[in-house]
């Protein structure tokens, strides 16, 4: 089956099997390797791309479903210009040290781009909830959240000072603050 997909502003086309995932189309047919495949079950978010401006996990979208649509990958956000990353979200991830091994970074950045486009007046809790479907096994999320807030034009220190005590933090996300002990010294020790 032939598909025609605009990827990062360039028209692409290929004959693909109907079961070809968008992630595989991007990696194998277009040659863009930033879209990582981590789970094939939508659990990790490493394959997140934008389809017509909406973030999607490309491991669960068929290439034929993206036919005649526009896809943006991490490579489409821009490159270095005068030694600096040209997209504000990518630059903020670098500035705030929002990455370690880098495997989740492209999907995390793409999810953040969509999140900021949908809600430019983000709070720390909004960022944590909005990135809930993207997993990182290295960072603990604190600097990722800071990076998204910086990219959205927010002061991450003020956002943290505003606190998240009243709000539910999604599982797997750290507030970046030490949790108070629920027992006194020596209590609860086995």
Query: pLDDT tens per residue, the chain (190 residues)?
Result: 999 999 999 999 999 999 999 999 999 999 999 999 998 788 999 999 999 999 999 999 999 999 999 999 999 998 666 666 678 999 899 899 998 898 999 999 999 999 999 998 999 999 999 999 999 988 879 999 999 999 999 998 887 667 554 445 454 544 444 444 344 444 444 4
Instruction: Give the pLDDT of residue 86.
Output: 78
Is the CB of residue 172 less than 8 Å from the CB of residue 135? Answer: yes
Instruction: Give the pLDDT of residue 85.
Output: 65
Distance CA 9, CA 77 (A): 11
Report the sign of the C-alpha dihedral through residues 169, 173, 177, 179, in that order.
positive
2-76 against 78-162: fold identical: no
Residue written as tokens 């709070």?
A: 123
∠ CA 178-149-141, rounded to 5°: 40
DSSP state of 61: S
Structure tokens at 146: 């800071």
Distance CA 163, CA 156 (A): 11
Domain boundaries, the chain: 2-76, 78-162
Instruction: Give the pLDDT of residue 188.
Output: 46
CA-closest candidate to residue 47, choices 133, 117, 129:
133
Distance of CA 9 to the CA centre of its chain: 20
Distance CA 63, CA 3 (A): 7
∠ CA 153-154-156, rounded to 5°: 135
CA-closest candidate to residue 157, choices 176, 180, 179, 140:
176
The bridge status of strand 2-7 relative to strand 70-72 is parallel
φ and ψ of 85, to 5 deg = -70, 135
Class of domain 78-162: mainly alpha
CATH number of the structural domain 2-76: 3.10.20.30
């Amino acid at each position: 089956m032939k598909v025609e997909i605009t990827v990062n502003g360039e028209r692409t086309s290929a004959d693909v099997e109907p079961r070809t995932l968008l992630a595989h189309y991007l990696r194998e047919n277009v040659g863009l390797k930033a879209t990582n495949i981590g789970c094939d079950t939508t659990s990790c978010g490493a394959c997140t791309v934008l389809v017509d401006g909406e973030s999607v996990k490309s491991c669960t979208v068929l290439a034929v479903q993206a036919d005649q649509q526009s896809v943006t990958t991490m490579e489409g956000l821009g490159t270095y210009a005068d030694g600096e990353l040209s997209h504000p979200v990518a630059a903020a991830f670098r500035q705030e040290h929002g990455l370690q091994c880098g495997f989740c970074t492209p999907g995390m950045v793409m999810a953040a781009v969509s999140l900021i486009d949908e809600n430019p007046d983000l709070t720390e809790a909004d960022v944590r909830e909005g990135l809930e479907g993207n997993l990182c096994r290295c960072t603990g999320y604190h600097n990722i959240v800071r990076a998204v807030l910086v990219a959205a034009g927010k002061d991450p220190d003020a956002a943290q000072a505003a606190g998240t005590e009243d709000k539910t933090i999604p599982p797997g996300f750290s507030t970046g603050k030490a949790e108070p002990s629920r027992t006194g010294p020596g209590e609860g020790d086995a």
